[in-house]
Chain A
Amino acid sequence: MSAVPISYYLVLSAILFGLGVVAFVFKRNIITMFMSIELMLNAVNLAFVAFARAHDSLDGLVFVFFVIVVAAAESAVGLAIVIMLAQNRQSLNVERINLLKL
């Protein structure tokens, strides 16, 4: 089994994370922003898995499971909020969701 060097995984993970960050900051649609959060989470997951493999340790895998669980819970809650927002404001533009501002 030819081993792909860990640096490949890490570079891919960094690229995915960077894309996620850029998308989160520049996109206005709340669902797109949601997706970019998922992208960042999974980029981190990728890094964890790669390290776990490289160090032959289970710790990283355990972490990944937790991240997946939390991400699932978060998307359940988050999407519910998005639905309520869409119903009440007829818009998914985050720039217009600023009611909590002083």
Chain B
Amino acid sequence: MLLLNHLWIIMALPLAGAAINGLCGKRWPQSAVNSVALGSVVLSFLAAAETVREFLGLATGQTPFIGNYFTWMVAGEATPHPFRVDFALQVDQLTVVMLLVVTFVGMLIHIYSTGYMAHEGGYYRFFCYLNLFMFFMLTLVMGANLIVMFVGWEGVGLCSYLLIGFWFLKKSAADAGKKAFIVTRIGDFGFTVGILLVFATFGTVAFGEIFSQVSDKPVDVLTTICLLLFAGAVGKSAQLPLYVWLPDAMEGPTPVSALIHAATMVTAGVYMVARMNPLFSRAPAAMLVVAIVGAATAFYSATIGLVQTDIKKVLAYSTVSQLGYMFLACGVGAYGAGIFHLMTHAFFKGLLFLAAGSVIHALGGEQDMMKMGGLRKRIPATFWTMFIATLAIAGIPGFAGFFSKDAILEAAYSGPYANRLLWGLGIVAAGLTSFYMFRLVFLTFFGEPRYDEHKVHVHESPKNMTIPLMVLAFLSIFGGWFAAPKLVGGVDYFEKFVAPVFAAYAPPVAEAQIRVVDPTLVPAVPDSSPAMDLLYALAGWPVIVGVLGLLVAWWFYIKRPDTPKRLAESVHGLYTLLLNKYYVDEIYAAWIVRPLLWISTNVLWHVVDEGLIDGTVNGTATVARGSGAQARKLQSGNTRSYAAWVILGAVGFTAILFGLLGVAH
């Protein structure tokens, strides 16, 4: 109970690291900055691990464990429903998963960064931001009420902005940072209104108190709340139609893309939806919206990923697509599967980004896959780890992604909110994912080198970069094996572990549905025995399309390397459309950004600001100056004129006394 009673230590450590590096790091050598940054994150991971160990020893009745540290805000104490926010942290099964993923992957990426950023300016600044990010991310996942969660939510957005624009002298990087911040702000507006509506409806913002009274509230209010909260998730997790910032966010250093824009921050939306599951489960319309947005995004961004040539852009669209899968899972009621995919995705996508960073590092900054090729033998460690991650994301059996993606698609096919159409979209997207990922691997590592071998000195990355790759590769294989027993008729241990979070406040309808299948099982744990044949059949589909994608990619890029070009020419229109990302950026620019700019310039700036606000301020000043100029003539400096004024005043005063007040009768 040592650390469980001091949960704040986990998040205070990275904050201290950020403060120390931010204040003193500039004058310190890299080794000192390293020890502060790495030390704080490693200690934070150890603290998290110890907390989890203590948490697992708790009795069932003691979860979720809530640590309430102090009252942060109180307003309207005299009213029947005061607004009260405690600085409270909580640990339950969902938090445990997030805690371990965030601190462990974060730790690996910190280690990797010491190699990747070694030759960059602003070394201390990078680690200061990275540690600060860890602090906010931990705040987000540990907060026991919506407000503390919101602080973390906005804080990671801030760090994302700072790190995307890390090379702020580059205009594209600075612009990408602003774009990320502003686009997510649109979603956060919905999130904020959602929080207010939660308070207006429930009279509290603490999770446990909200969930305990969720059954008495009307469905339409819950639906509105869920849709508003989901708007925040759409912005933060880069779903349609607010995904546009994530591909641009690749302007940041690659470890940042791995940590923030793949493994942790962008999954915050999924975490939030899973956390608010009692509300979503009671709002079927909102669930449908979540599922549709998720499936549509999964499919849509996978198609864009097919033709991109920038290695990081492919991975960015892939991330958007995989996040879509997670929302699809939440939307069909399989929160456990969504969180499972979140975890495996953190491993393999973090690995893919880090490996891509290693490739870029090896080629001295080249990101265009058309200028790579044949790197397999030159950087074997990077190749093998990236290949494993690709197998994982493509859903090849035995690798982590297979289990989690399978769980999602199975739920979409036969879960309580099953939707065959969305399942179909998911299957197609799985095939596309497999294709573009193997395309990436084949273009980068196979074939003839397309870079200038005399100019580029290809070299394998140092140990502090390759070791995190290997650890993540290990997890990309075995990280999904919690679910493996299910294939042979056993239990999905991951789902069983997180089930209490989703079962505690599950609506009675869903429970009834599950009980019909098998009354002996814990609610929300899917049945195992009766539908085994179906399960095998379904596990077949993702595998078939995954292998199909591999074969097509192999045919296109190894067997017949001229095929892509001929295909691009034969369906030129479609190819151009995909290459230009459906012109969404252009459409947004024409329909939203430019009208806004026009209104801002011609109305808000020239009329409201210059006319109204400046006019009022300047007008006041002009009046004051004018009257001052008149009044100052009295101050002539001539003693006798002063005397004359005194006399005039005295006479006038006397006249008033006599005349107006009638002193002399």
B57 lies within 8 A of chain A by Cβ: no
Interface 9-mer from B172-180, B228-236, B637-645 = B637-645
Interface 9-mer from A8-16, A42-50, A92-100 = A92-100
> Once A and B bind, how many residue pairs between them come within 8 Å at the CB atom?
26
Cβ < 8 Å to A, chain B residues 631-658:
632, 635-640, 643-644, 647
Which of B632, B635, B638, B643 sits near A24, CB closer than 8 Å?
Answer: B643
A55 lies within 8 A of chain B by Cβ: no
Chain A residue numbers with a CB within 8 Å of B644 are 25
Q: B interface, by DSSP: helix, strand, loop or mixed?
A: helix
Please tell me if the beta carbons of B638 and A98 are within 8 angstroms of each other in the complex. Answer: yes
Chain B residue numbers with a CB within 8 Å of A41 are none
Please tell me if the beta carbons of A25 and B647 are within 8 angstroms of each other in the complex. Answer: yes
Cβ < 8 Å to A, chain B residues 562-610:
none
Chain A residue numbers with a CB within 8 Å of B638 are 94-95, 98
Please tell me if the beta carbons of B639 and A94 are within 8 angstroms of each other in the complex. Answer: yes
Chain A residue numbers with a CB within 8 Å of B647 are 21, 25
Interface extent on B, as a size class?
A: 10 to 19
Chain B residue numbers with a CB within 8 Å of A1 are none
In angstroms, how far is the closest chain B Cβ from the Cβ of A19?
13
Chain B residue numbers with a CB within 8 Å of A33 are 639
Please tell me if the beta carbons of B643 and A102 are within 8 angstroms of each other in the complex. Answer: no
Could you say which of B632, B635, B636, B643 has the most chain A C-beta atoms within 10 Å of its C-beta? Answer: B643
In angstroms, how far is the closest chain B Cβ from the Cβ of A12?
19
Chain A residue numbers with a CB within 8 Å of B639 are 33, 94, 97
A43 to B429, CA, bound (A): 109
- Give B78-97 as 1s and 0s: 1 = Cβ < 8 Å from A's Cβ atoms: 00000000000000000000
Chain A residue numbers with a CB within 8 Å of B636 are 98, 101
Chain A residue nearest to B641 in the complex (CB): A25
Chain B residue numbers with a CB within 8 Å of A98 are 636-638
A87 to B148, CA, bound (A): 77
Please tell me if the beta carbons of B640 and A94 are within 8 angstroms of each other in the complex. Answer: yes
A100 to B632, CA, bound (A): 13
Chain B residue numbers with a CB within 8 Å of A94 are 638-640
In angstroms, how far is the closest chain A Cβ from the Cβ of B489?
99
Chain B residue numbers with a CB within 8 Å of A101 are 635-637
A33 to B638, CA, bound (A): 13
A102 to B644, CA, bound (A): 20
Please tell me if the beta carbons of A25 and B643 are within 8 angstroms of each other in the complex. Answer: yes
- Give A17-42 as 1s and 0s: 1 = Cβ < 8 Å from B's Cβ atoms: 00001001110100001000000000
Cβ < 8 Å to B, chain A residues 72-91:
none
Please tell me if the beta carbons of A100 and B637 are within 8 angstroms of each other in the complex. Answer: yes
Chain B residue numbers with a CB within 8 Å of A25 are 640, 643-644, 647
A101 to B639, CA, bound (A): 11
Could you say which of A21, A26, A28 has the most chain B C-beta atoms within 10 Å of its C-beta? Answer: A21
A81 to B640, CA, bound (A): 17
In angstroms, how far is the closest chain A Cβ from the Cβ of B595?
53
Chain A residue numbers with a CB within 8 Å of B640 are 24-26, 28, 94
Chain A residue numbers with a CB within 8 Å of B635 are 101-102
Chain B residue nearest to A36 in the complex (CB): B643
Chain A residue nearest to B637 in the complex (CB): A101
Chain B residue numbers with a CB within 8 Å of A102 are 632, 635, 637
A28 to B640, CA, bound (A): 8
A98 to B632, CA, bound (A): 15
In angstroms, how far is the closest chain B Cβ from the Cβ of A68?
22
A94 to B636, CA, bound (A): 12
Chain A residue nearest to B636 in the complex (CB): A101
Chain A residue numbers with a CB within 8 Å of B643 are 24-25
In angstroms, how far is the closest chain B Cβ from the Cβ of A93?
10
A45 to B637, CA, bound (A): 30
In angstroms, how far is the closest chain B Cβ from the Cβ of A21?
6
In angstroms, how far is the closest chain B Cβ from the Cβ of A17?
11
A98 to B637, CA, bound (A): 5
In angstroms, how far is the closest chain B Cβ from the Cβ of A74?
15
A102 to B637, CA, bound (A): 8
In angstroms, how far is the closest chain A Cβ from the Cβ of B325?
77
Chain B residue nearest to A98 in the complex (CB): B637
Could you say which of B635, B637, B638 has the most chain A C-beta atoms within 10 Å of its C-beta? Answer: B637
The 6 closest A-B pairs by CB, nearest first: A101-B637, A98-B637, A94-B639, A25-B640, A24-B643, A25-B643
- Chain B contact residues, CB within 8 Å of chain A: 632, 635-640, 643-644, 647
The 21 listed contacts between A and B (C-beta, < 8 Å) are A24-B640, A24-B643, A25-B640, A25-B643, A25-B644, A25-B647, A26-B640, A28-B640, A33-B639, A94-B640, A95-B638, A97-B639, A98-B636, A98-B638, A99-B637, A100-B637, A101-B635, A101-B636, A101-B637, A102-B635, A102-B637
A98-B636, A101-B636 given; 10 more Cβ-contact pairs under 8 Å: A24-B640, A25-B644, A25-B647, A95-B638, A97-B639, A98-B638, A99-B637, A102-B632, A102-B635, A102-B637
- Chain A contact residues, CB within 8 Å of chain B: 21, 24-26, 28, 33, 94-95, 97-102
